[in-house]
Amino acid sequence: MNDYCLKVINKLKANSDEPEFIQAVSEVLSSVEKVLDRHPEYEAMSILERLIEPERVVMFKVPWKDDQAKVQVNRGYRIQFNGALGPYKGGLRFSPTVNLSVLKFLAFEQTFKNALTGLPIGGAKGGADFDPKDKSPEEIQRFCVSFMTELYRHIGINTDVPAGDMGVSSKEIGYLYGQYRRIKGTFEAGVLTGKDVNYGGSFARKEATGYGLIYLCKAVAAAHNLDLKGKTAIISGSGNVALYTFEKARQLGLKVVAISDSQGYLVADDLDLDMIKDIKENRKASLKEYLKKYPLARYENGSIYDGEIKAEVVLPCAKENEIDKKRAERLLENGAILIAEGANMPNDEEAVSLYKEKGVLFLPGKAANAGGVATSALEMTQNSMRLQWSFKEVEDRLEGIMNNIHAQLLATIKYYDLPAYDYCEAANITAFEKVVKAMIAQGDY
């Protein structure tokens, strides 16, 4: 590793107790050695030190009343990481797993993901350690109102545009936007994305991350003379990203043989996507319900990556660090030839190193799941123009953005003489160069 990178990473480790953030920083900085070797002046400019420090961290209390009229207090956050390329852009996550390390990692990754889209958006992330799963609709609404009562002063259409993320659907976005509108007294639809299509939302937003993931897989497969039609695939997760990855994968001819939820995973030769959607989107139930109609299917408790499932395409769409080296080895033993991240950092550092060592096609989340934020930026464009594109228009633009991401990565692979399969290093270098050049051009001191 470049001496400058190593010095910055070691200093971060010595002065930070934020494991997820340190992991994300280490993964990016360890990939940009070739850039730093060509630009020794970056060290004198303290580029890396400036890059890994958020421009702003906002933390605030969120008091709200539960259904028993008892006041509860959660902690809210907004991490405005880097605005060199445009207004801060990134989701809000409501989950008990939310903390400063997780959100800094997500905001750092978001900065580079947004850069790859080619759209004028900076990187941010936010949320709260609030768990909506066991709350009534009234409790969720009261929480959202309280959350926005503080957040509103930190966001704006040219400042910071949040979206949804884990635990924040269009329903929560509606509550948040309603409170923003009441406080501000104006209809600024572009201040939040992921809205319902009835008041400024974009068609295809729910599908965008999953669809974009498959579009990038399709482009990579074509570049490597790999026919995906008839290949078997497994998908972890059963939220929007996983379900619409499944939908677009099936349209492409992939055969999805396993999918998971928070308790276990479902395995069958021919999974019924419509029933799985009904179980997860309408009934909010366990995938075990699938067995009532299809008793020959199999549901196992635990991680899908601990099962001995033969699959050539692996699409992790659940959470960070669910695949370690041992699980990665099992995936390769079971025939994996293409691994594409629908979630943020679902493979740990050792797993990613193994893929590189074995020359496996691996598509990192900052490139592979960029379709969601790309479509959020398209929603911002529609709001600015006061119009709404059709589903087909948005989908066509999304596919064009994902194809452009692939073209950028191929150009980086060629320019830096990287191995043809190393999309991970190519994604990090491409995004890093865009952000750093913008910082330097603006005299970002």
Can you tell me which residue has the tokens 């905001």? 107
Token pair for 124: 């941010």
The three-state DSSP-derived secondary structure of 210-233 is: HHHHHHHHHHHHHHCCCCCCCCEE
Distance CA(273)–CA(279), nearest Å, equals 10
Q: Which residues contact 153 (CB under 8 A, 6 or more apart)?
A: none
Indicate the DSSP class of residue 242.
H
The CB-side HSE value for 267 (13 A sphere, CA atoms) comes to 15
The sign of the CA dihedral 411, 417, 422, 425 is: negative
Distance CA(24)–CA(368), nearest Å, equals 16
Distance CA(327)–CA(315), nearest Å, equals 14
List helix spans (H) across 240-288.
240-252, 273-277
Phi-psi region of 86 (alpha: psi -120 to 50; beta: other; left: phi over 0): left
User: Which among 180, 155, 172, 205 has a CA at the least distance from the CA of 378?
Assistant: 205
Q: Contacts from 430-433 at CB under 8 Å and sequence distance 24+? A: 430/115, 430/116, 431/111, 431/112, 431/113, 431/115, 431/116, 431/366, 432/28, 432/31, 432/32, 432/35, 432/51, 432/112, 433/35
Distance CA(146)–CA(141), nearest Å, equals 9
Distance CA(395)–CA(398), nearest Å, equals 5
Q: Which residues contact 439 (CB under 8 A, 6 or more apart)?
A: 47, 50, 51, 82, 84
Among the options 89, 113, 125, 255, which is catalytic?
125
Residue 209: enclosing H or E segment and its boundaries? helix 205-223
Phi, psi at residue 60, to the nearest 5°? Answer: -155, 155
The sign of the CA dihedral 140, 146, 149, 154 is: negative
* Catalytic residue status for 133: no
Distance CA(77)–CA(61), nearest Å, equals 9
Q: 19-29 and 100-117 helices cross at what angle (nearest 10)? A: 30
| Residue numbers annotated as active site | 125
